[in-house]
Chain A
């Protein structure tokens, strides 16, 4: 398939370490690496070298935007849950010797930061109070709904839904198997998980109705809702599989797809644009393109490099895209004017 060539500029670096995760918090964007560093990028000046923050002693495992403007949260295999301020200063919010902080998230409206270590997810409020939520098995992922009311914690055999502001016990959405990344639909009506076994599972929260999304030839590494939640874009196949969630909801509808770079070359990361109904897709061969669910037209952003794309993030205006791969090659694509 022929791709259109992207308009705009591409700034590239080679940092040499596994790019673990990318995030944005307003003008500032961040990428976390396997050497424990976090780099802060100013999206207004994509050409400028990023600020390097020595964050973790081992590898960074997780990254998210903090509740404070321009700040980020990170978890590492040194057992630390860190707050990285916009100016690059590091504050340790929690530390557990011999532990791994595997997942982090936050919600500015609710004023909470959340991290997980093994089976325990901990909610940290602005006053510094901690609330530990223990699960029957290791936490596979964390997600707070858009309104900032509920926390979804995925694990083996289901997802626990907690109220951020109430001490009530979790309600558990059950489904056999190991649940990894959880994701809320924009309206909060559905919760979806990517599973260990090359499938997605979803629940309609109003009635607990199950959705099974299968047919993937490979493990689904990440999933993302397009702007306004019309489509759920997913990795795990050699094109971006997009499940429709608009209108009457997703039940019983077939997915649409876009973006193939070669047979058997799987999509390894998807990032939905915040302003347009488009999705950036990264592939196992290192290439990246941008496309639209169900459309044959795609725009090539970077060519194959051999190393899988491991993380991407759009800026809030949706006109700059930060891309990282497993070998530490980082690209900043600037689509402005």
Chain B
């Protein structure tokens, strides 16, 4: 069958007042050469009359079995199906969630509904946090934590309202919740939109290869002492350069620091681990193992992402999951031979040392 062009979708999360609306207005008004369909939850907030702006009502539906984590956004399925019928085609879709929303049902919608999955692809989850209030939000809302843990890109906004030390603490806290996201600092959501839109964050190669910690393959254990510097810059723009892997990522962490180094402050509840395998994996073994992991631990796992080297295949296998719902595809050739390693990360709750050891052993047993 003919290949269907998949429209990229960006999910924008963050609590009220963090700067989401500013960002949305910029996407709708700036001349960035792309036409966005924007699905908002507070219609009134966007002061723009544009028939590609659609109001949604966040209807979260449970799927089959009634498992509490297996949920989708029914309204998104309808709206996207409707948008895809239009003639005045758009290049991409932006979905805004309310500040109190759990990002999981939104993300799961893009892996679950067949029509949505066939015609769109989740490009990235962008979370805006307010440097001044994030600590308070994290203290009193589980959703704030989840929104950070879920993100591919995090905008620490309103940096002009805090001093350097506060900002450093905020970043450490955010890093502790999500060591794999790309973090940007902004004052008034003034970021180059290319860095957050249609960036192929789910083509994980870029993220993973730009995270030196990921390459070490160590776990983000709160008790483990990070002897090296985590302040390397994730802010430089690789969004449209495919040659960029040629430059040195030798873990010297010396390149282009534009903000201060921080040591992540790990969260007591949400933790991340990253696993590395140098030997190619057996796809069948991996499939069986990961399905079992998601079935038994999926409720506690917020996200899993991986880029995997399957034995006998020339292309990279990119895997991602939200709770129990997963998706995996071969997505093109490896950038170069020496980077053919399998990397898999989990972000979630209840990842204690025992679970971590289990996951590690299970992953390692998937080698061909």
B67 to chain A, nearest CB (A): 12
A176 to chain B, nearest CB (A): 7
Given contacts A196-B77, A307-B2, contact A59 B82 (CB under 8 A): yes
Given contacts A17-B87, A35-B87, contact A57 B59 (CB under 8 A): no
Residues on A with beta carbons closer than 8 Å to the beta carbon of B54: 77, 100
Q: Do A58 and B86 touch across chains, with their CB atoms under 8 A apart?
A: yes
A102–B57 Cα distance when bound, in Å, is 15
For the complex with contacts A61-B85, A219-B115, 6 further pairs of A-B residues with Cβ separation under 8 Å are A33-B87, A61-B82, A78-B51, A137-B74, A178-B61, A196-B74
CB closest residue in chain A, given B114? A219
Can you spell out 6 A-B residue pairs with CB atoms less than 8 angstroms apart? Answer: A77-B83, A102-B82, A138-B57, A138-B59, A176-B66, A284-B1
Q: Do A218 and B114 touch across chains, with their CB atoms under 8 A apart?
A: yes
B368 to chain A, nearest CB (A): 27
A285–B4 Cα distance when bound, in Å, is 12
| B62 close to chain A: CB less than 8 A | yes
| B78 close to chain A: CB less than 8 A | yes
A199 to chain B, nearest CB (A): 8
A118–B59 Cα distance when bound, in Å, is 11
- 1/0 contact string of A184-222 vs chain B (CB within 8 Å): 000000000000110000000000000000000011000
CB closest residue in chain A, given B2? A306
Residues on A with beta carbons closer than 8 Å to the beta carbon of B333: none
| B75 close to chain A: CB less than 8 A | yes
| A90 close to chain B: CB less than 8 A | no
Q: Do B86 and A138 touch across chains, with their CB atoms under 8 A apart?
A: no
| A177 close to chain B: CB less than 8 A | yes
A306–B28 Cα distance when bound, in Å, is 33
| A291 close to chain B: CB less than 8 A | no
- 1/0 contact string of A216-232 vs chain B (CB within 8 Å): 00110000000000000
CB closest residue in chain B, given A119? B57
Q: Do B74 and A102 touch across chains, with their CB atoms under 8 A apart?
A: no
Residues on A with beta carbons closer than 8 Å to the beta carbon of B66: 176
Which residues of B, 34-93, contact A by the 8 Å Cβ criterion? 43, 51, 54-55, 57, 59, 61-64, 66, 72, 74-75, 77-79, 82-88
A139 to chain B, nearest CB (A): 10
Q: Do A77 and B59 touch across chains, with their CB atoms under 8 A apart?
A: no
A3–B42 Cα distance when bound, in Å, is 53
| A18 close to chain B: CB less than 8 A | yes
Given contacts A35-B87, A102-B82, A196-B77, contact A285 B61 (CB under 8 A): no
Max chain B Cβ within 10 angstroms of own Cβ: one of A58, A60, A177, A218: A58
